[in-house]
Structure 1
Amino acid sequence: MAVVVRAGAAPLWWLGVAAAAIGAAPQGLTGRRIGVLAGAALFVVGAAVVALARRGRYAALVRGVARAGKYDVLQDRAVTVRAWRRGHRWWLLLAGAAALGSAFAVPMAGGLLLAGCGTGLRLKAAWLGRREQALDTLLWVRVDWLDRRGGGPAGKAVKGLRGTGVAAGDAAPGGARRRTAALV
């Protein structure tokens, strides 16, 4: 579950940073100083809103976690990330273009807002990771529920979560890549 949340964090962050850096060049309608200050405020607000959004739904799904069954289809981390990014690439490009376009009105603000949204997703994934560690289980969303419209890891199509042990799969709690110890 945290893998799906975390899948959009890196692209949003990097698109936001790139848009903010490029957006620093034009003077804009408001000037750079106001653009930077507005962008900093939007970064903080965007990160907070994204990190706290739908937290009650996530908590309700976590409370109702069921053990993964033999016939539940669960994907590897890399496949989940690749599928999410491929399915949302046009939205990501549109958001990056909008952040760049907004630089002509308020320099850097749109890019910093986008980077703040990426930071909020990373914070939400970290929160889910702490829940996974407390429960000592990895939380999974069935693949067929993720593919439906109105999706996302806490969308209407998701009826419940599946749980496995923390050693299952290739993701660590919080959706990060599992680190393997070097063989000596």
Structure 2
Amino acid sequence: MARGGQGLARVAVVVRAGAAPLWWCGVFAAGVGVLPPGLTGRRIGVLAGAALFIVAAAVVAYRRRRRYAALARGAARAGKHDVLQDRAVTVRNWRRGHRWWLIAAFVAALASAFAVPAAGGMLLAGTGVGLWLKAGWLGRRERADAALLWVRVDWLGRDAGGPAGKRVKAYRGTGVAAGDAAPGGARRRADALV
């Protein structure tokens, strides 16, 4: 980057990137997982899966909120030489970096159906929903503060712990019109530009 600029990725986009793959892998694994009766039987498996879905969604949605809030409060203004990464690039990088974890989780959810039908898939789906909820919370915070949150790309990685991991020292902030993703990390609609 020229003159000390940094590559920046949207925090909410990084959080949201895993939501869709986890949701769809979970739904598919739960659908297939209902077929074998398993050791516990389908009824117990589905009830256990429903409980796991709710617990996973709540845990993922609320995990590390204090850390996100502390980093957001200390966010410095992004510099004019910083490069804002496109939403599609951020999503693609996250999914490429985590594809083997996603595949392993999907296979484990399918295999668990022989013990507890559908439960593993519903756990995966709940994790995806939790990520959507967390991204939504970040979006509400961004709207309230009228500032989008960004994290340095070189602080992200498979082993970095995400956008609130130990390697992340601070966030950068921009106005709400910056980048190509709306508050919360969703695609920005053309008519939503302010």
TM interval, short-chain normalised: over 0.9
1:174 aligned onto 2:174: no
Is the contact made by 2:98 and 2:158 (CA closer than 8 Å) also made in structure 1?
no
Give, in whole Å, the separation in 1 of the partners of 2:53 and 2:158: 31
Alpha-carbon RMSD: 1.3
Which amino acid in the other structure matches residue 7 of structure 1? Answer: A
- Report the CA distance between 1:71 and its aligned residue: 3.1
Provide TM-score, normalisation by structure 2.
0.91
In structure 2, stretches of 5+ residues that fail to align are 1-10
Q: Deviations over 1:92-126 (max 9, x none)?
A: 00000000000000000000000000000000000
| Partner residue in 1 for 2:61 | 51
- Kindly report structure 1 stretches of 4+ aligned residues shifted beyond 4 Å: none
| Partner residue in 2 for 1:118 | 128
Which amino acid in the other structure matches residue 103 of structure 1? Answer: A
Report the count of equivalent residues: 182
1:30 corresponds, among 5, 25, 40, to: 40
Give, in whole Å, the separation in 2 of the partners of 1:71 and 1:159: 19
- Show the 5 A alignment for 1:2-151: 2-147=12-157, 149-151=159-161
Give, in whole Å, the separation in 2 of the partners of 1:105 and 1:149: 31
> Sequence identity of aligned pairs in percent?
78
Provide TM-score, normalisation by structure 1.
0.96
In structure 1, stretches of 5+ residues that fail to align are none
Give, in whole Å, the separation in 1 of the partners of 2:189 and 2:171: 24
